[in-house]
Amino acid sequence: MSGFDPKGRIVPVILCGGSGTRLWPRSRRDRPKPFLPLLGERTLFQQSLDRVSDRSVFAPPLIVAGEGHVRLIEEQASQVEGLRVLVEPTAKNTAPAIALAAASLPADAIMLVCPSDHYIEYRDAFVAGAKGAAALAREGYMVAFGIEPSNPETGYGYIRRGEALRGGHRIARFVEKPDRETAERLLQTRDYVWNGGIFAFRAGALLEELHRHRPEMADLIGESIQQAQESDAKIMPAAPPFTRIVGESIDYALMENTECAAVVSADMGWSDIGNWDALMAARPADPEGNRLAGPVDAVECRNVMVDSDGPRVSVVGIEDAIVVIDGDEVLVMSRAAAQSVGKLPGALAQ
């Protein structure tokens, strides 16, 4: 592409996709989860930029996003010098998005692929993990970040660590979101980590593996990038070949097929903030376990989160519940039902 030279630094590739329906009504189609200040004054997207701001380690980031999010990116990243935006013609899941980024970079560039909507509490641990993952990626490994599990979570995928490598392990097995009993058994072995959805690749090695395991996708990615247009730090791949791609996640398309899969484990205070309960767990609590934001009165409540952007909310004598007020929308639920918010008509109708 435009002669971009990372000068030996890690290239952050930040994925801005998804609609965040499980954080409805705060997360909406026109302003989804990454672009909201859910934890602190900076949005999750801005925090993802902050984590890779050390220019001695990281090159300026490459953002992969749909056209509908470009304005938000430009608004929230206006101070980041050298940032580029790769505009997906349409959403096709993570494998095509990551492959587009790889095809737009020098073959020897080390990519660090990061979702834009995760929360990471310990930046130093993240940077240390990125350096370790980059070292393995330079050797040709396809590297996943493994998160040390804190509980038998059923909403995450798991990775079994195999043969030890310098700074990490080969991946012995992937386990998709398990039931509770299976998750408890995996934790007892101490061999498994959560799949954090963060990856490191050498761009050329990624494309070689994609040609091996998904040749049609790789060819269409190549056509789309060859016909791309560039303007004002934006890369616009050609739509006709890209729209013919069958969408697939990077896990299914590549990581579960390659013989070069590795994992670097990191304890960095990670959460994917995938639903209101996960957000509640990431926020500081009062002595009763309550998290209260906005005009709220809470009496004799335990483990309750209330998040209101306007109307006063009064809650009395309840436990393990979440109340969210966003404009004219009101959400009331038990913490245990957090995964089901995305099924609500309001969330689906966005």
Mean pLDDT along residues 200-213: 98
320 and 267 in a common domain: no
Measured CA distances, 141 to 2, 145, 265, 279 (Å): 27, 12, 15, 33
Q: Give domain status of residue 4, yes or no.
A: no
In whole angstroms, give the CA distance from residue 316 to residue 91: 44
296 and 199 in a common domain: no
Q: Give domain status of residue 147, yes or no.
A: yes
Residue 293: strand pairing partners? 307
The DSSP annotation for 137-166 comes to HHTT-EEEEEEPPSS--SSS-EEEEEEEET
137 and 105 in a common domain: yes
Residue type, 185: R
Q: What is the CATH number of the domain that holds 226?
A: 3.90.550.10
290 and 183 in a common domain: no
Q: Which of 251, 271, 291 is the last residue of a domain?
A: 271
213 and 183 in a common domain: yes
286 and 212 in a common domain: no
Q: Give domain status of residue 18, yes or no.
A: yes
282 and 257 in a common domain: no
Q: Give domain status of residue 295, yes or no.
A: yes
290 and 142 in a common domain: no
Evaluate if residue 304 carries a pLDDT over 90. yes
Name the residue range of residue 151's domain.
11-271
239 and 298 in a common domain: no
Number of domains present in the structure of the chain: 2
Q: Give domain status of residue 1, yes or no.
A: no
183 and 114 in a common domain: yes
Evaluate if residue 1 carries a pLDDT over 70. no
187 and 296 in a common domain: no
Evaluate if residue 350 carries a pLDDT over 70. no
Question: What tokens appear for 23 in the block?
Answer: 């954080």
Q: Give domain status of residue 234, yes or no.
A: yes
320 and 228 in a common domain: no
Q: What is the pLDDT of residue 260?
A: 96
Local structure of 216: helix, strand or coil: helix
Q: Which of 249, 271, 293 is the last residue of a domain?
A: 271
Q: Which of 203, 238, 271 is the last residue of a domain?
A: 271
Of the candidates 30, 116, 52, 83, the residue with the CA atom closest to the CA atom of residue 234: 83
Q: Give domain status of residue 5, yes or no.
A: no
- List pLDDT tens digits, range 305-320: 999 998 999 999 999 9
- List pLDDT tens digits, range 141-185: 999 999 999 889 888 999 999 999 999 999 999 999 899 999 999
Q: What is the pLDDT of residue 231?
A: 87
Q: Give domain status of residue 318, yes or no.
A: yes
* Weakest-pLDDT range from 53-62, 102-111, 144-153, 301-310: 144-153
Mean pLDDT along residues 60-74: 96
The pTM for the full model equals 0.94
Q: What is the pLDDT of residue 2?
A: 58
Q: Are strands 270-271 and 119-120 parallel, antiparallel or unpaired?
A: antiparallel
